[in-house]
Amino acid sequence: MTQDSTAVPGKFISFEGIDGAGKSTHIAFVADLLRARGKSVVSSREPGGTAVGEKLRDMLLHEKMHLETEALLMFASRREHMAQVIEPALARGDWVISDRFTDASFAYQGGGRGLNRAKMEALEQWVHPHLQPALTLLFDVPLDVARARLDATRTLDKFEQEKVDFFAACRTEYLRRAAQFPERIVVVDSTKSIEETRATLTGILEKLL
Ligand SMILES: Nc1ncnc2c1ncn2[C@@H]1O[C@H](COP(=O)(O)OP(=O)(O)O)[C@@H](O)[C@H]1O
Ligand SMILES: Cc1cn([C@H]2C[C@H](O)[C@@H](COP(=O)(O)OP(=O)(O)O)O2)c(=O)[nH]c1=O
């Protein structure tokens, strides 16, 4: 099932990928493209997207904590995001584009850190039992490309400081989910130039418009 069994008028798109894959670079482009097609767009992110969620984000990206605490806080941020931003926007008929959603928890807390998948599925059922994105764009690059992009651009947060094995496991879990949900998750080869990737994204989005 993609999106919502109760058929809300708006559409929900999530952006995923390991750190440095190039996802943030393309979010503004997608927002502009949708607006140019007359859509009302809400652009948001996880963890974060609400006042409470941004406080949780600050903790999550900078404090060391137990793995299960980390997973629970990711889903706490998501619960608030659902209530304050995603559900009201979709009910109004807006398009919501989110820089990460639940696939990131499966990839990072599940794949990267090794949290039991059944626990994550229980949290997913609790927090958004009836909603999945209509489309998930998974920006995929080899680990060395992602690392080079990160090193060239910014001060690294808690997750970005992880070792290569961690990102390898995150990427594997993202690709496993893409194979599990092929009708929802589209893998975008993010080794291509920004222009080529934009053309690919335009083609994918045309099918949703
Ligand atoms: N297709 C691409 N080709 C070359 N560089 C890219 C590409 N996509 C993104 N970048 C660069 O890589 C860096 C990290 O990209 P970013 O979008 O912040 O990654 P993410 O949000 O996935 O962590 C940015 O400086 C960006 O300009
Ligand atoms: C949403 C989510 C994010 N994360 C991690 C992935 C990223 O490393 C980090 C958020 O970073 P990200 O949104 O990619 O921020 P930026 O582009 O500013 O670096 O949080 C999880 O571990 N689990 C989750 O459920």
Q: How far is the CA of 149 from the centre of ligand 1 (A)?
A: 6
**Span 26-60, pLDDT tens digits:** 999 999 999 999 999 999 999 999 999 999 999 99
pLDDT at 126: 98
Give how far the C-alpha of residue 171 lies from the chain's centroid of Cα atoms, to the nearest Å. 13
Residue 43 pairs with which residues in a beta bridge?
97
So what's the ipTM on this one?
0.95
Residue 66 carries which side chain, given as an amino acid letter?
Answer: H
What is the length of the chain? 209
Q: Return binding residues.
A: 17-24
**Span 74-116, pLDDT tens digits:** 999 999 999 999 999 999 999 999 999 999 999 999 999 999 9
**Out of 46-50, 158-162, 181-185, least confident range:** 158-162
pLDDT at 153: 85
Percent of the chain surpassing pLDDT 70: 97
Region 67-75 average pLDDT: 98
pLDDT at 95: 97
For 10-46, letters b (16+ CB in 10 Å) and e give bbbbbbbbbbbbbbeebbeebbebbeeeebebbbbbb
For 112-146, letters b (16+ CB in 10 Å) and e give bbebeeeebeebbeebbeebbbbbbbbbbbebebb
Q: Whose CA is nearest to atom 11 of ligand 2?
A: 19
The structural domains of the chain, ordered by start, are 11-206 (3.40.50.300)
Structure tokens belonging to residue 107? 């990839």
Closest alpha carbon to 208 in 81, 44, 37? 37
Residue 205 carries which side chain, given as an amino acid letter?
Answer: L
Quick check: 6 pLDDT over 60?
Answer: no
Confidence class for position 134, pLDDT limits 50, 70, 90: very high
Confidence class for position 3, pLDDT limits 50, 70, 90: low
**Out of 61-70, 87-96, 145-154, least confident range:** 145-154
Ligand nearest to the CA of 17: 1
Residue 189 pairs with which residues in a beta bridge?
140
**Any ligand 1 atom below 6 A from CB of 191:** no
Ligand 2 binding residues, C-beta < 6 A: 19, 24, 45-47, 74, 99-100, 104-105, 108-109, 159-160
Q: What DSSP string describes 81-148?
A: HIIIIIHHHHHHT-EEEEE--HHHHIIIIIIIT---HHHHHHHHHHH-TTEE-SEEEEEE--HHHHHH
The best mutation among 149, 153, 162, 174 to test binding of ligand 1, ranked by most ligand atoms within 8 Å of the C-beta, falls on: 149
Quote the mean pLDDT of the chain. Answer: 95
Structure tokens belonging to residue 171? 């990427």
**Token pair 């009302």: residue:** 40
pTM of the model: 0.96
Residue 136 pairs with which residues in a beta bridge?
14, 185
